[in-house]
Amino acid sequence: MKLSRFTYIVDDYPEPTKSLVFNGRTEALIVLNHDVRELLRKLPTPTESLTEIEQQALHQLAQQGIVSPREIDENKIMEDWFHQFRYSTKQMEVMILTTYNCNFACPYCFEEGVKDKKYLHEPKADQIIEWMQQKALKNNPKEIHIIFYGGEPLLNIPIIEYIGSRMKSWSGEHGIKFFFSLVTNGSALTAKVADRLVPCGLKVAKITIDGPKEIHDKFRPFLNGKGSFDIIMENIKAVADKLQVTIGANFNSHSYPYLFQLLDYLEREGLREKIALIDFKPITDRPNQVIADVTACPTHETDPEYADQVLNIKREFMKRGFKTSEPMGTNFCEFKAGEMKSIVDTNGIIYKCPSMVGLPQFGCGTVEQELTQNVMFQNLMKMKIVDFEKQCKTCEFIPICAGGCNWMSYLRKKDYTKVYCEKKLYKKTIQDMVKLKYEQEMLRKKRKNQKTELITIS
């Protein structure tokens, strides 16, 4: 037996003489006693040289992926694992741009170079609907999830209502679960709008708030310069009982010290239990070499510069009882996925990355064509997700980074097919992330009145 390359160990945690182990591929999270931890230090070792008790312990650990037979090629397992992700047909997820227009003037907006007053209209929406239905008939997914975004998607409410109601009806007739979500600034998400859209399939609204009122209004003003915080918070109060509201906030070194004041506000207003999820992500600087109209996603969360702040924020969420996302998971985005995850703009052009939307050179054809027949898409599917032969061959963080962000690779290296290595970040944070994962799991069990313990191997 050998210790899996993707197993991360935190010693003397959650208490002295105990060790917490986590496997990035299987996501097994296990507490070990001192003797079993010492057994792992001896690996790799022939099984026949171990006692019966030690063999039993290793067998339990092997079932969780913490250890594996010495002859196992873990890179081959990961290649197969990524292949399953890429070609899974269980869920069809389509992001639809309702408009390139926006009613905010955020200074950091990554869409600034492609903003326009283009809107999605019914004739093109009909083509998008037909395209989605044909794709669903071909692949037979169990669920269809549409994400409406922009620009500001709620500047085009009728088209959301139109697409949502038609797809909900069609999906029901074909025995497919359907829902849609919004990525919105929240300024137009009134109770009246929610009452219109929930019957059409609206389930989740992700609203961006960049801190307490003074900070948010500075970073997310309306086009006329007026602040938006008060309007958004009133809307959240009005719709939080009608649908799931999640908050996604952006921060930089200037706004970070004020972020927890937003949590103070949410608690005072009785919104802590009504927010389904909350996350803060850093606004990273654009590389100097990027041309003016090609901008990076400003909230690329794997920036080592902000690692400590992100971890501190998550700890504060958990301390105060706010629900937040897990500290680590596979970075398997739309770009790396197959035809079941796509983005469609107002012209019916298909993209594979939100940061590429509006840049014609990254288009993968249109909804009037078969995506799999598009040359750009075919080239993407030939692209190796991870460089197992060279750069990633011995890396222990493959299950988490999945080859890194391809858009960042394009910005830094002018080649989106190259690996964007994030090893520096994970080397710095992996121990803290495993601890956070454990603490989050304990809180989850406590909320469900379950025993607050993990599998313990003695």
> Is it the case that residue 297 has pLDDT exceeding 60?
no
> Does one domain contain both 149 and 260?
yes
Of 79-88, 324-333, 400-409, least confident by mean pLDDT is 324-333
What pLDDT does residue 450 have? 76
Both 54 and 86 in a single domain? no
The residue from 344, 366, 401 where one domain ends is 344
- Asked whether 121 and 160 are in contact (CB, 8 A), the reply is no
Lowest mean pLDDT segment, chosen from 57-71, 341-355, 437-451 = 437-451
Give me the CATH number covering residue 98.
Answer: 3.20.20.70
Beta partners for 31? 20, 456
Q: Which of 344, 378, 393 is the last residue of a domain?
A: 344
Percentage of the chain exceeding pLDDT 70: 92
- Say if residue 302's pLDDT is above 90: no
| pLDDT score of 372 | 84
Q: Is 6 domain-assigned?
A: yes
In percent, the amount of the chain with pLDDT more than 90 equals 68
Residue 185 lies in a domain: yes
Per-residue confidence (pLDDT) for residue 288, from 0 to 100 = 40
**Same domain for 184 and 323:** yes
For residue 333, the Cα-to-chain-centroid distance in whole angstroms is: 7
67 and 113 share a domain?
no
Considering the chain, what is the average pLDDT of its residues?
Answer: 89
The pLDDT of residue 284 is 59
Co-location of 151 and 284 in the same domain: yes
| Residue 127, in any domain of the structure | yes
- Round to whole Å and give the CA distance between 186 and 99: 15
Residue 366 pLDDT greater than 90, yes or no: yes
Do 436 and 328 lie in one domain? The reply is no
Does 55 share its domain with 139? Answer: no
Tell whether 40 is covered by a domain: yes
Residue for token pair 């669903």: 136
> Which tokens hold the place of 21?
């182990």
pLDDT at residue 404, rounded to an integer: 87
Residue 382 lies in a domain: no
Q: How many domains does the chain have?
A: 2
Same domain, 192 and 336: yes
Same domain, 136 and 208: yes
Tens of pLDDT, residues 259-272: 999 999 999 999 99
- pTM for this entry: 0.91
pLDDT higher than 50, residue 289? no
Is 351 within the bounds of a domain?
no
**Which whole number is the average pLDDT over 311-329?**
89
- 286, 314, 344 - which closes a domain: 344
What is the token pair recorded at 141? 């997914």
Residue 158's pLDDT band (cuts 50, 70, 90): very high
Indicate the pLDDT class of residue 110, thresholds 50, 70 and 90: low
315 burial type by CB count under 10 A (0-12 exposed, 13-18 middle, 19+ buried): middle
In a domain, 389, yes or no: no
* 177-217: pLDDT as tens digits: 999 999 999 999 999 999 999 999 999 999 999 999 999 99
Q: What contacts 24+ positions apart, CB below 8 Å, involve 429-436?
A: 429/307, 429/311, 430/8, 430/397, 431/8, 431/10, 432/311, 432/327, 433/311, 433/327, 433/328, 434/8, 434/10, 434/20, 434/22, 434/29, 435/10, 435/13, 435/20, 436/311, 436/314, 436/315, 436/318, 436/327
Same domain assignment for residues 21 and 106: no
Query: Considering the domain boundaries, does residue 384 fall inside one?
Result: no
Residue 458: pLDDT over 80: no
* Co-location of 56 and 198 in the same domain: no
Q: How far apart are CA 418 and CA 192, in angstroms?
A: 47
119 shares a domain with 61: no
What is the average pLDDT across 56-77? 94
Q: Where in the sequence is the domain holding 120, given as residue range(s)?
A: 82-344
Place of tokens 């500001």: 152
